[in-house]
Amino acid sequence: MKNTFKKLLSVILCAVLLFTTASTAFAAEEARTVVDSGYCGAQGENLIWTLYSDGELVISGEGEMDWYYPQFGKFSPWYNYFDRIDVITVEEGVTSIGSKAFVGDGLTRYYKISLPESLQFVEDDMISDISVTRVPGQHLAICYAGDNNKILKIKQRAYSIKSESSEPVRELIYDNARFSWGGYKYMKVYFDGNEPEAFCDLVRDEELDFDFVAHYYSPDVKAKKLVWYRVINDKDKKIAEMNVGEYEVKEFWVNTNRSGKHYLRADVVDADGNVIVSSEKALIADVMSFGESVKLLFAEVVYVLWLFVGLPIFGAVALPVLELLNLFGYKI
């Protein structure tokens, strides 16, 4: 009787566990839905694009992608969804990225592009200059499925655009130049499909007229804000917040009137206010106290007096003494 009861209880528990697992899997699958999809291949239906509700744009199929030039009225089919795209995944089998494929209107918020090992060509201006199109500090990760040697074989194709007719016509200029990954300030390439862990670095970027810019990456938890702090005497003082992924660009000044070493740091924060990752402190100013300033001034005055008064007097006294010593046969 006891064995029968134990078997029955085990069956009930297994059934509950299976039902719970199935319900969880179904809920997770149900949470991800297709927002829109269509064709994006150079031959039409050879490539398919799919935008999911979780913000991932997936491009799949075989062969080359179509090309896009918004200035001539030819937009990518996902052009109006850039404010919803967080991640772009180009699957294995795709051999080219069309020109302007990932160029949005103004700021774009995607933070990762995964490229396949099958990629052979990248047309000019796959993405815009990140220094212009992204909130200062966001980091774009390019996760390439191949290694460093294979990426060197990817070629860039450039076209001149002719628009004599109602439809823009492009003419191939070259297709034998190695694609350059330079020029994108907040982009970094990771090989073998690897993705960086969460990080936040403060970097001087004088080209953008910013003393410091936060380079950060948050792969698992979606970042909501950058929270900036001034640190002096080991005490943090919140000085600014910056929304990320919402087209907000904010500049702020740090008051460094107080004596001591002034540092700057930033936290990457999620929607619930939890800190995802923090940067190291970056020294922005080392302000002397009044006493230290007086000591430095006194030292400078002494040096000037010695240079313009003491040294000439010393020379005037020392030279006759040396001459006198020479007369007595002492060579110095």
Nearest Cα to Cα of residue 217 among 244, 178, 235, 177: 244
Domain span at residue 227? 220-287
Under the banding of pLDDT at 50, 70 and 90, the label for residue 113 is very high
Under the banding of pLDDT at 50, 70 and 90, the label for residue 274 is very high
Q: Are residues 275 and 177 in the same domain?
A: no
Mean pLDDT is lowest, of 120-134, 179-193, 250-264, 272-286, for: 120-134
Distance of alpha carbon 200 from alpha carbon 266, whole angstroms:
8
Its pTM surpasses 0.85: no
Read off the CATH number of the domain in which 281 is found: 2.60.40
Under the banding of pLDDT at 50, 70 and 90, the label for residue 11 is very low
Q: Are residues 306 and 248 in the same domain?
A: no
In a domain, 206, yes or no: no
Q: Are residues 258 and 118 in the same domain?
A: no
Beta strands in the chain (DSSP E): 34-41, 44-52, 56-61, 87-90, 96-97, 112-115, 121-123, 140-144, 155-162, 169-178, 187-190, 199-205, 210-217, 225-232, 235-243, 260-269, 275-278, 282-287
Q: Are residues 185 and 264 in the same domain?
A: no
Number of domains in the chain: 3
Mean pLDDT is lowest, of 147-151, 268-272, 312-316, for: 312-316
pLDDT tens column, 50-80? 999 999 999 999 999 999 888 888 899 999 9
In a domain, 15, yes or no: no
Average pLDDT over residues 284-294: 66
Asked if residue 126 has pLDDT above 60, the reply is yes
- Which residue(s) pair with 63 in the sheet? 94
- Percent of the residues in the chain that have a pLDDT greater than 90, as a whole number: 29
Distance of alpha carbon 41 from alpha carbon 49, whole angstroms:
9
Q: Are residues 75 and 169 in the same domain?
A: yes
Most confident among 18-22, 120-124, 184-188 (mean pLDDT): 120-124
| Residue ending a domain, choose from 172, 190, 208 | 190
Cβ atoms of 244 and 224 within 8 Å: the answer is yes
Most confident among 62-66, 122-126, 287-291 (mean pLDDT): 62-66
pLDDT of the residue at 210 = 59
pLDDT of the residue at 159 = 82
In a domain, 3, yes or no: no
Q: Are residues 302 and 281 in the same domain?
A: no
Q: Are residues 80 and 156 in the same domain?
A: yes
